[in-house]
Structure 1
């Protein structure tokens, strides 16, 4: 697994993409190159996009044509969902593509705030046709970021690991990957164990 996470430095690419020929679809050709390279063997190519609407987002949505929507459990999220929906509609029309919503991940749920549960309920109602996962506010994610490691490595006991595994399992199902098995596939594997 290789990871190239988004970061604030990517905003420097925005003006270059705006001026570039076919700037809204540059990532698409890059990902096609990776998929065609015989030395790479990825089941998934995940694109972590910055939370802004512009050429970086255009590239991400055009190249993947799928979106796992991250959302904060805050009242401002309602307007953010509206803006994202409008933006995706325009992008689909401009590029004649369909962007599939594969799920919503509600982040940093602070169970101490009453308003938080109202927002979580609203998101679940608004997106009742796709999976919605809840990720409570956890220090485990920040610990992993601070340590430069996976949350599975840094804090495997955290309940956030279960949420991430549920997302992976659901995406495997949605995209037609076989369900992983922990049972031996043959008698010889059973004897070796």
Structure 2
């Protein structure tokens, strides 16, 4: 039985897509069967794993529209054990198109029913907003992982996200759990980074992953080559961080 984890935070630039791609690749390397779903109209997870966004004919948009099945949309990647359901810029229109549909929050959940058991983990890279796309991901998910960057405004907006999660639990998905808070873009030389880590750990103690994702040049270079950090530079600090996170996720769910 696969576990669906939505990777969400309505703030942009906190490392959602970086985490989605590299956690998915790390779980794949650790011999778990993984599906990555790009649910962001920017389609960065799609291009970041080496797929030409322009060539995408069937992806998340068709899935949410129910014009194609999930099986139609799956593409194999060059990373071991990792498949992707890609996104295309047309995903921008889905929020408007679903607005008057019945059960619009459940479109993704019902689309994934047929394939949930084919994977150990299904990771959803969410858009940086709390709109209908993210709502679909949270309704479909078993849990949500929240990346938080170690910067000044880190905790701003977190309350809003946690409230959204609470209302999703109440109305659409009582089973939704918080997988954990993931600290990203950590720079040990900065006092601020260390303060944010302390603050988050103090407020949320057990909810915070032990693994902290450090700032790493190789990590930010990898997507421009259409590769995960595991393929791009397996010996880098970034690769070690994400492998460590993957092990933590596996241990938590075993």
- Give the TM interval when normalised to the shorter protein: 0.7 to 0.9
1:48 aligns with 2:93: no
Deviation at 1:106, TM superposition (A): 1.5
Rounded Cα–Cα distance in structure 2 between residues aligned with 1:139 and 1:14: 35
Rounded Cα–Cα distance in structure 2 between residues aligned with 1:4 and 1:81: 23
Query: Is the contact made by 2:36 and 2:122 (CA closer than 8 Å) also made in structure 1?
Result: no
Rounded Cα–Cα distance in structure 2 between residues aligned with 1:48 and 1:92: 19
1:28 aligns with 2:95: no
SS in 2 for 1:77: coil
1:84 aligns with 2:164: no
SS in 1 for 2:140: helix
Match for 2:230 among 140, 152, 156? 152
In the alignment of these two chains, the number of paired residues is 172
Deviation at 1:113, TM superposition (A): 2.9
Rounded Cα–Cα distance in structure 1 between residues aligned with 2:192 and 2:219: 23
1:69 aligns with 2:150: no
Query: So what's the TM-score if we normalise by structure 1?
Result: 0.80
Query: Is the contact made by 1:65 and 1:97 (CA closer than 8 Å) also made in structure 2?
Result: no
The root-mean-square deviation of aligned C-alpha atoms, in Å, is 1.9
1:182 matched residue in structure 2: none
Rounded Cα–Cα distance in structure 1 between residues aligned with 2:150 and 2:98: 32
- Residues 100-144 of structure 1 deviation map (CA, whole Å, 9 limit, x = unaligned): 111222121233432221111111122211242311111122221
Match for 2:217 among 133, 139, 157? 139
Deviation at 1:7, TM superposition (A): 4.2
2:243 matched residue in structure 1: 165
In structure 2, the CA distance between the partners of 1:156 and 1:7, relative to structure 1 (3 Å rule), is farther
Unpaired segments ≥5 residues, structure 1: 177-193
Unpaired segments ≥5 residues, structure 2: 1-33, 43-88
Rounded Cα–Cα distance in structure 2 between residues aligned with 1:139 and 1:173: 28
Query: Is the contact made by 1:140 and 1:158 (CA closer than 8 Å) also made in structure 2?
Result: yes
Deviation at 1:33, TM superposition (A): 2.1
Query: So what's the TM-score if we normalise by structure 2?
Result: 0.62
Radius of gyration: which is bigger? Answer: 1
Deviation at 1:83, TM superposition (A): 0.8
1:57 matched residue in structure 2: 134
2:186 matched residue in structure 1: 109
Deviation at 1:67, TM superposition (A): 0.7
